[in-house]
Amino acid sequence: MRHLNFHHLRLFWTIAHEGGLTRAAERLNLSQSALSVQLAKLEESLGHALFERQGKRLVLTEAGRIALDYADTVFAAGAELLDTLGGRPASRRRVLRVGALPTLSRNFQMQFLRPLAGRADTELVLRSGSLRELLIDLEAHMLDVVLANAAVRRDAHSDLHSHLLAEQAVSLVGRPAASAAPLRFPEDLAGTPVVLPSLASEIRAGFDRILELAGIRPVIVAEVDDMAMLRLIARETDALTLVPAIVVRDELEAGLLVERYRVRDLTERFFAVVQSRRFPNSLVAEVLEAFDRTPFRGAP
């Protein structure tokens, strides 16, 4: 029967959190060669490499990320034991690391995470960044899932998969006005002040194509790549704002904004990007299944 050497596990845990052998050796007052020998023994006992060398850096493998999660749990449990016996009870929790584009609707993100939010046994770690940055972290096992509004291109060298979660209508919205006549689209947009997503957005590209084919040029008063800011601007300006309905769902329900026109054939898509893993985080499947069971709340 194999037994886990917890001393070796503690050394690995220190290397991982210190970011390499040099700093870990200094902290532990050991030589790097001695530390490497102990790490090799742990890898041999587990049957998996825990680090791979990229240049001068040690990067956790998938097995290394799993081992680190368990090591965090093991040593947290030891700290909890001391806390409990010292009259300071604590609880162990599983961790789900989620990355999301800053342009993604906060309402959508909250709906995706709601099944896990506030659970005593779960910790959510949320990160934002560019799609490139988040996918690098996903492949390095530093994230478990990435939320995006575009599918990731597949090729023979990629083990990333994009799960389409939902499609949401895109509308032109504005503040309510008693004299507002029904909007004729796209002709009424000629010379009309509008607030649009940035040029990097897929819905902006689709919207621009529609207007270009119709020969219509609106007056662009703002271009915004952050959906939270787009929502605020829509509430504060008299211009029409092009936005996925879910972004301003609360304002539409409260009557602060009204939908002036729902743009046909233009939708915002939401994807969960995951990596094929030998040791998947079970919380990913749990949150995906919960989202599939819950009707997607978009426009009212």
The C-alpha atoms of residue 286 and residue 290 are separated, in whole angstroms, by 6
Give the rounded percent of residues in the chain with a pLDDT score beyond 90.
47
As a whole number, mean pLDDT of residues 247-258 equals 92
- What is the pLDDT, as a whole number, of residue 90? 53
- What is the pLDDT, as a whole number, of residue 182? 87
As a whole number, mean pLDDT of residues 37-61 equals 90
Q: Strand 145-148 vs strand 258-275: parallel, antiparallel, or unpaired?
A: antiparallel
Give the rounded percent of residues in the chain with a pLDDT score beyond 70.
92
Cα 159 to Cα 6, 49, 69, 299: the distances in Å are 33, 19, 22, 34
Please answer whether residues 58 and 20 qualify as being in contact, where contact means their C-beta atoms are separated by less than 8 angstroms. Answer: yes
- What is the pLDDT, as a whole number, of residue 139? 87
Reported as a pLDDT band with limits 50, 70 and 90, residue 102 is confident
Q: For the chain, give the mean pLDDT.
A: 87
Please answer whether residues 259 and 171 qualify as being in contact, where contact means their C-beta atoms are separated by less than 8 angstroms. Answer: yes
- Region of poorest pLDDT, from 22-36, 41-55, 176-190, 224-238: 176-190
Which tokens is 13 given? Answer: 């845990």
pLDDT at 300 over 50: no
pLDDT at 296 over 70: no
pLDDT at 295 over 50: yes
- What is the pLDDT, as a whole number, of residue 91? 54
Residues paired with residue 53 on neighbouring β-strands, in sequence order: 58
In order of their start, the domains of the chain are 6-85 (1.10.10.10), 94-166+270-293 (3.40.190.10), 167-268 (3.40.190.290)
Residue-wise pLDDT for 133-188, tens only, equals: 999 899 888 899 999 988 888 766 778 999 999 888 899 999 998 667 889 999 99
246 vs 99, which has greater pLDDT?
99
Helices (H) and strands (E) in the chain, counts: 10, 10
- What is the pLDDT, as a whole number, of residue 88? 60
The C-alpha atoms of residue 94 and residue 202 are separated, in whole angstroms, by 35
pLDDT at 291 over 70: yes
- What is the pLDDT, as a whole number, of residue 1? 55
As a whole number, mean pLDDT of residues 196-202 equals 87
As a whole number, mean pLDDT of residues 38-53 equals 92
